[in-house]
Amino acid sequence: MSREGIIDEVLIPAREGRGVRMRVGQLLDVVDVEGHQVGDLIAWCLDDPSEYLSPTHTVSCNASIRLKAGSQVFSNRRNPLFTIVRDDVERHDIIVPCCDRERYERDFGLPNHPHCLGNLHDARDRLGETRELHGEMAWNVFMHNRVTEDGAVVTDRAAHGAGSTITLEAHRDLVVLVSACPQDLTPCNDFDPTSMLLRVRERGDR
């Protein structure tokens, strides 16, 4: 990819979170640097932080839990925040909230394990933002969850390889936070969390 048109590029170290700001019409690449990694993504509008990416409204507006190239991602006011213009994986979870301290304490007896909600708070603080965050705001990019016929939610190993990318075109000026998920107790990240990359680009460089 040409470096021309790149506005910002941020490496997310394994088990940590980072964020970017982007303007309407710009593109955001979320890149799995080493493969088999999930990213938990939160976004909200710069001009009105009360409007934010809502997984549940996205499911309702698309009438589907499956997102792929061409799908839109919606806010809590049912306005499109992103259009997916590239998707190497086309498998994401949009029904399960991101992990938090309580999840690791309840399910694994580990109250001090790193978690995505904590990573997202750290990413927010690094940007100097103050918006309150909740786990149900997160979209689990590249997460290979599936719903069985009897309604169970099963987490499979994320099978995609190094360099896998989803590219989102912004419809509003946004703050975007991503956690390189630290989950190492389920197949979520193939039991080995690794780094991710955020790249903000002008629309002409696809």
Kindly report, residue by residue over 150-206, the tens digit of the pLDDT: 999 888 988 899 999 999 999 999 999 999 999 999 999 999 999 999 999 998 755
Where are the domains positioned within the chain? 8-201
Beta-strand (E) ranges in 76-173?
Answer: 80-87, 139-141, 145-147, 153-155, 164-170
Condensed to tens digits (0 to 9), the pLDDT of residues 103-113 reads: 999 999 998 99
d(CA 22, CA 12): 17
| Structural contact between residues 119 and 182, judged by C-beta atoms closer than 8 angstroms | yes
- 191's CB contacts (< 8 A; 6+ apart) are 184, 185
Which pLDDT tens digit goes with each residue over 180-195?
999 999 999 999 999 9
